[in-house]
Structure 1
Amino acid sequence: MNFLIHPRTAFQMAACDEKVANLAVARAIPVITLGIIIYGCYAVTKPLCIDYLIHPLADYNRDARVALGAVIISLFYALLLCVLATYLRLYCVVVRNPDSLPCGEQALEPNEGGGSSAQDRKHHRRRRRHGTAREKTEDISTDIEDSRDLGSGQNAFSLDDLGLEKFYLKDVFVCQQDGRPSYCSTCCQFKADRAHHSHQLDRCSRKLDHFCPWVGGVVAESSFKFFFQFVCYTTIFCAYDVIVFSIFATELDQERNRLNSHWIASLGLGGLFFLFSAGMSAISLRLAMLNVTTIENLTSGANIWSLAILIPPSIAANLNTEGGMTPKFPTVSYSLSPASASSNTQSRDSGGERIFAILQTDQNPFDLGSPLRNLQQVMGYTACDWLLPIKLSPCTDHSSPESIYALGPVVQRLKREAGLGVSTRSDSECSADGSRRSRPRRRKSHVPSLRSPEPGETTDPAPRESRRHRRSRSATSTEDSTRSNRSNMDNSDTRESQAAHAMDITLN
Structure 2
Amino acid sequence: MDHYCPWVGGIVAETSFKFFVQFTFYTSLYCAIVVAAAIMCLESKLRTGHSTDGLAVGALVLAVLFGLFTLTMTLTSIRYILLNLTTVDYLKSKNVVHQLAIRVPRGTPRGQNYNVITYPLPISTTSPDPSRQTATYEVSSARDQLATRTFAIVRTEMGENPWDLGYYRNWKSVMGDNLIEWLLPIHESPCATHESNESFYEMGPLYQRLRARFGLPDVSSEEEKAEMKEMESRLKHGIHGR
> TM-score, normalised on structure 2?
0.78
1:376–1:310 CA distance, 2 compared to 1 (3 A): same
Query: Secondary structure in 2 aligned to 1:358?
Result: strand
Matched, 1:334 2:124: no
Matched, 1:364 2:161: yes
- Matched residue, 1:97: none
Q: 1:264 aligns with which of 57, 62, 71?
A: 57
Q: 1:222 aligns with which of 8, 15, 25?
A: 15
CA distance in 2, matches of 1:263, 1:223: 34
CA distance in 1, matches of 2:44, 2:169: 46
Which ranges of structure 1 fall in alignment gaps of 5 or more residues?
1-204, 320-325, 347-351, 434-508
Matched, 1:411 2:207: yes
CA distance in 2, matches of 1:270, 1:365: 40
1:424–1:390 CA distance, 2 compared to 1 (3 A): closer
Aligned residues of 1:238 and 1:270 also touching (Cα < 8 A):
yes
> Sequence identity, in percent?
38
CA drift at 1:421: 4.6
Query: Secondary structure in 2 aligned to 1:289?
Result: helix
- Matched residue, 2:149: 354
Matched, 1:317 2:114: no
Root mean square deviation of aligned Cα: 2.6
Aligned residues of 1:412 and 1:421 also touching (Cα < 8 A):
no
Query: Secondary structure in 2 aligned to 1:310?
Result: strand
CA distance in 1, matches of 2:142, 2:66: 55
CA distance in 2, matches of 1:393, 1:341: 38
CA drift at 1:429: 4.9
Equivalent residues in 2 for 1:39-54 (5 A)? none
Aligned residue identity for 1:357? A
Equivalent residues in 2 for 1:117-156 (5 A)? none
Query: Secondary structure in 2 aligned to 1:406?
Result: coil
Q: 2:175 aligns with which of 367, 372, 379?
A: 379
Aligned residues: 210
Query: Secondary structure in 2 aligned to 1:292?
Result: coil
Aligned residue identity for 1:317? G
Aligned residues of 1:288 and 1:378 also touching (Cα < 8 A):
yes
Aligned residues of 1:305 and 1:360 also touching (Cα < 8 A):
yes
CA drift at 1:240: 1.0
Aligned residues of 2:5 and 2:12 also touching (Cα < 8 A):
yes
Query: Secondary structure in 1 aligned to 2:7?
Result: coil
Aligned residues of 2:102 and 2:154 also touching (Cα < 8 A):
yes
Matched, 1:292 2:48: no
Query: Secondary structure in 1 aligned to 2:150?
Result: strand
Which ranges of structure 2 fall in alignment gaps of 5 or more residues?
124-138, 232-242
Say which structure, 1 or 2, has more relative contact order (CA 8 Å, 6+ apart).
2
Aligned residues of 2:103 and 2:219 also touching (Cα < 8 A):
no
1:216–1:332 CA distance, 2 compared to 1 (3 A): same
* Residues 375-429 of structure 1: CA deviation (Å, up to 9, x unaligned): 1111000122111112110011113221111110011100122233546994145
- Matched residue, 1:86: none
Aligned residue identity for 1:367? D
Matched, 1:279 2:63: no
CA drift at 1:330: 1.2
